[in-house]
Structure 1
């Protein structure tokens, strides 16, 4: 077999039974530890996989350096397994039931249930110490696969019922992969580091509750968050960044500055705006109204609650119902509006209009309500009630380019007033679209 190693385009001959790690050590000599994974036509994969898994013939690969974004994901994926192994050691195999442990931006987490025992913030230092032992013991990380029925039996024997559920939902005939390090085995697609001892720096950050599969009807698990970096310096820089972010956290500053209050007992995800917050919002609205008036928009207001027939007609009833709030009065069904669009259409249709009136532009500070699971609510960033500055333009086909250009200029002008940098993503109509 031949490998072409990018970016140098070096061609070497290898045996199919060789692992990528063996080739890496041969190529990089004493510096091989600087690389943690390999990119192939199948994506990023483990160094411990055999080259023969790529198939016969010639293949291009590229080593993944420890400072690359791809490497961070591999580090953190391995760290989530080390975390789960540490918790299992501390609290016992029979008591620990594992959920999922993915990587996320800047870190990782693992959802865990310890039977008859809640993990506390005070437990995190002990868990960290056990993780350090696992790293020091430098267990080789081995990947193996089982047929689906054997994988289910394997996890059931270990009392890992959440893993059983995950496997049962996988396609028939698919080989199920596991990773083993020391006395610990976990269901996982990978990739992972060659051994636990490669980890250099990590930190457990926090503890939170999380429903299994995000469904409030399911068991509440405990989610342990952590992060890992290739160097101690990078970890320290990130921890300092987190401290600064805490000092600037709007959830803390908002109440301190008298801007808003959130009471999770009476209105979770629905902020109470205080005097200074209302003053701030009023000033924002003044600027908004000035800019929109200059751009030719009229301001409108639409009802907060509207009959269900409107939401059937708009498609929200069929496509967005799980995110809406409903009211029943006099044997009639109503919905609290999650969007302003249907109301704007009603206004436009309220009287006969000539093409000479086009383009016709309307805008609204519309209060909308959208149901979000309690676990994802986050200050003012993820809420259930918010004011949306919505606008709709009715125009002829000939006006499209001109009006869209003016709209982009309006958005750009508004954002520049506040010094916002932004990017634009094009959204098209998905298969399950409405409207």
Structure 2
């Protein structure tokens, strides 16, 4: 079987060989692999003539696998420290990773140092991370034995009959990967915060505890990120707004996220809006204003009710007709365009609006 490497070189691989075995023969300390631009697990079997790039920890593209493995180290540490905890999901994200847990008893930020210390022990153990596939009945039995109700729900949505798990020491998790070869490679990490998160993002489901963290291949990158994060905290609008008397938010009396602009803030906002208008006029845009609500059939035609209903507020009944607060401006702009016949000579037509949109984002 022939493989085409990213540098154009073609090499041979044996049937059933893994990417890890091929990388080892080439003398590359690979931790993951890009196959036709898609991140794959280094343990996966070689398949066909594909364009391949082996990734080491120094490659930015390997960061997802590093952080995903860090999430599993976090889950393993939590399992050791809090018997009876139930696992939900734990992906890599742009700033690091998180894992959602259902704890028997609430935890607080004061618990994070203890969890982090247990994670360091797991890293020091340098546990091999193995990928195993179980037949669906066996996978179901394993998750039922551990009472992993959230994993069982995820399993029910996987169409495959062979189910992917990852194992490191005593810890086994339902997961499609990819992951690093061992826990010892997760050297530079930090737990950042915890928050509440509804299971599957559904406010009608149970509230879980989400623990956030980050991880990098080099200590310098971690330290730089933590400095940036502290600076971002100092510049946080939720902190600066009240300090500078720009705005306030009354969660109890008015509602979370509903901003009251004070005179100082209104002046700043006016200057920003004036600058915005100046730039848009210079670029050939025409300023328009549109309503804050529209009839249901408008949002039906635009596709919002079919594809974005969960992000919209509940309808209002006005004289027997359903109206919705607008989540976007564009259907109104199209309505203005359609008010008369246009010629190609009119194009391009550029509309701009400082429109308030209402999205039920959770």
User: TM-score category by the smaller chain?
Assistant: 0.7 to 0.9
Shift of 1:211: 0.7
- Show the counterpart of 2:9: 9
What is the Cα deviation at residue 293 of structure 1?
5.6
3-state secondary structure, aligned to 1:267: coil
Partner of 1:72: 63
Cα distance in 1 for partners of 2:180, 2:352 equals 54
Among 100, 113, 122, the alignment partner of 1:111 is: 100
Q: 1:3 & 1:324 partners in 2: Cα distance?
A: 49
Q: What CA distance in whole angstroms lies between the structure 2 residues aligned with 1:353 and 1:10?
A: 59
SS at match of 1:38: strand
Deviations 1:279-317 (A, max 9, x none): 112223334445556677665443334444554555544
CA distance in 1, matches of 2:38, 2:183: 22
Residue matched to 1:102 = 91
User: Which of the two has higher C-alpha Rg?
Assistant: 1
How much has 1:140 moved relative to structure 2? 1.3
Aligned to 1:137: 125
Residue in structure 2 matched with residue 54 of structure 1 by the alignment? 46
Is the CA contact 1:46–1:194 (under 8 Å) kept in the aligned structure 2? no
Quote the Cα distance in structure 1 between the aligned partners of 2:356 and 2:2: 63
Per the alignment, residue 82 of structure 2 pairs with: 91
1:337 positional shift: 2.9
Counterpart residue number, 2:30: 35
**Equivalent residue number for residue 338 of structure 1:** 327
**Counterpart among 146, 155, 164 of residue 167 in structure 1:** 155
1:397 corresponds to: none
For 1:375-409, what per-residue CA distance to the aligned partner results, in whole angstroms no more than 9, with x for missing partners? xxxxxxxxxxxxxxxxxxxxxxxxxxxxxxxxxxx
3-state SS in 2 of match to 1:365: coil
Separation in 2 of the partners of 1:354 and 1:54?
56
Count residues with an aligned counterpart. 359
1:252 to 239, 247, 255: 239
- Provide TM-score, normalisation by structure 1: 0.72
| Residue of structure 2 aligned with 1:157, choices 145, 154, 157 | 145
Moved more, 161-170 or 17-26: 17-26
Give the C-alpha shift of residue 332 in structure 1.
4.1
Q: 1:4 to 1:262 in 2, by over 3 A?
A: same
1: distance between equivalents of 2:93 and 2:67? 8
SS in 1 for 2:356: strand
- Equivalent position of 2:260 in the other structure: 272
Contact 2:135 2:161 in 1 (8 A): yes
Superposition RMSD in Å:
3.2
Residue by residue over 1:3-59, the C-alpha shift from the partner in whole angstroms, topping out at 9 and shown as x without a partner, is: 5655372746x654655445544543xxx6x5322334594333444xxx325x766
Distance verdict in 2 for CA 1:22–1:349, change over 3 Å: closer
Q: What TM-score does the superposition give when structure 2 sets the normalisation length? A: 0.86
Determine whether 1:282 maps to 2:273: no
Judged with a 3 Å threshold, the aligned counterparts in structure 2 of structure 1 residues 320 and 361 are, in CA distance, closer, same or farther, namely same
User: Please, which of 314, 317, 334 is the counterpart of residue 328 of structure 1?
Assistant: 317
Q: Give the distance between the partners of 1:64 and 1:346, measured in 2 at CA.
A: 50
1:123 is aligned, of 108, 111, 126, to 111
Tell me, which stretches of 5 or more residues in structure 1 are unaligned? 374-435
Which secondary structure does the structure 1 equivalent of 2:354 belong to? strand
CA distance in 2, matches of 1:319, 1:59: 36
Three-state SS of the structure 1 residue aligned to 2:357 is strand
**Secondary structure of the structure 1 residue equivalent to 2:290:** coil
Q: Does structure 1 conserve the Cα–Cα contact (< 8 Å) formed by 2:164 and 2:175?
A: yes
Which of 232, 250, 271 is the aligned partner of 2:219? Answer: 232
